[in-house]
Amino acid sequence: MPMRNDNHRLRFARSAGVTLLELLVVLALIAIISAIAIPILGPGVSNTDLKTAARKVAAGLRMARNDAVATRTDTRVVLDLEHRTFQIERDPHVHVLPREMQMKLFTAQSDLISETTGAIRFFPDGGSNGGRVTLAAGERKYEVDVDWLTGRVAILD
């Protein structure tokens, strides 16, 4: 009788362990899956970063509008599409957006400075020359729209 109990324990001990070969197979599978997943999910612009950039541009445009009304002079927001930056006139701070996103500008012909730089202008009465800044990452995009009559700034999905 005691022999039978010892054999049972011995069989259970052998089947409860994991062999080195099984461990290597699992590690190889994890390596293959991560090699496929990392480029797909790798560095890029998250939806949060894209929305934050759109809000940052909208806040800069609103600040320029308020500056134009307060100082009673035209105020421009100069956007550099190549470097993904924008700057409000009379403000030395250059606002930088993530480099991974695409940036497009639709504005009046007279406010195009170069192929990659343009501006949206606000007037002392609160109006604007109008325009749209599009921020995109792949299929996702946000458009920051400036109404020409009222100078109102809105973010469109």
* 54 and 33 together in one domain: no
* 36 and 52 together in one domain: no
* 89 and 37 together in one domain: no
* 57 and 72 together in one domain: yes
* Domain limits for position 131: 47-156
* 136 and 70 together in one domain: yes
Q: Degrees (nearest 5) of the Cα angle 104, 49, 113? A: 25
* 13 and 90 together in one domain: no
CA atoms within 13 A on the CB side of 41: 6
Q: Residue 109 CB: number of other CB atoms within 10 A?
A: 7
CATH code, 108: 3.55.40.10
Q: Which helix (H) or strand (E) holds 101?
A: none
> What letter represents residue 69's amino acid?
V
CA distance 40 to 38: 5
CA distance 43 to 46: 9
What is the maximum span of the chain, computed from C-alpha positions, in angstroms? 103
pLDDT at 3: 53
Contact call for residues 119 and 77 (beta carbons, < 8 A): yes
Dihedral sign (CA 43, 47, 52, 58): positive
On whether the pTM is more than 0.85, the answer is no
* 73 and 6 together in one domain: no
* 34 and 51 together in one domain: no
pLDDT at 123: 96
pLDDT at 65: 96
* 85 and 127 together in one domain: yes
* 35 and 66 together in one domain: no
Locate tokens 């009673």: which residue?
A: 72
Alpha helices in 42-137 (DSSP H): 47-71
pLDDT at 86: 95
* 58 and 76 together in one domain: yes
pLDDT at 133: 96
Number of domains in the chain: 2
Note down pLDDT in tens along the chain; length 157 residues: 555 566 655 555 556 677 888 888 989 999 888 877 766 665 567 888 889 999 999 999 999 999 999 999 999 999 999 999 999 998 999 999 988 889 999 999 989 999 999 999 999 999 999 999 999 988 889 999 999 999 999 999 8
> What letter represents residue 117's amino acid?
T
